[in-house]
Amino acid sequence: MSDLRNQPESYWKEKLTPEQYRVVRQKGTERPFSGTLYYSHEAGMYNCVACGQPLFSSDTKFESGTGWPSFDDPVKTELSI
């Protein structure tokens, strides 16, 4: 895998949707209670949309009442990219 940390912004603008780009690259957030993953109760793994790294298992997801998916145990505590 190439080093994603050194990719130019043009790469990310092509790879990500405008909303993903705003959240991932510009430190934005989606409106509370608006994201499709907030309502999802499917079993599986939540991965980073940019690099694909596993972030959280659905087993650790809980309803915090904040309007965003909440997790209490990351898969890894260090990045592998």
Distance CA 27, CA 20 (A): 10
Length of the chain: 81
> pLDDT tens digit string along 2-27?
688 899 999 999 999 999 999 999 99
Quick one: fold of 7-71? Answer: 2.170.150
The ranges assigned to domains in the chain are: 7-71
Phi, psi (degrees; rounded to nearest 5) at 62: -145, 160
Secondary structure tally for the chain: helices H, strands E? 3, 4
Which spans in 1-81 are helix H?
A: 9-15, 18-24, 36-39
> pLDDT tens digit string along 31-79?
899 888 888 889 999 999 999 999 999 999 998 999 988 999 998 766 6
Q: What is the pTM of this model?
A: 0.77
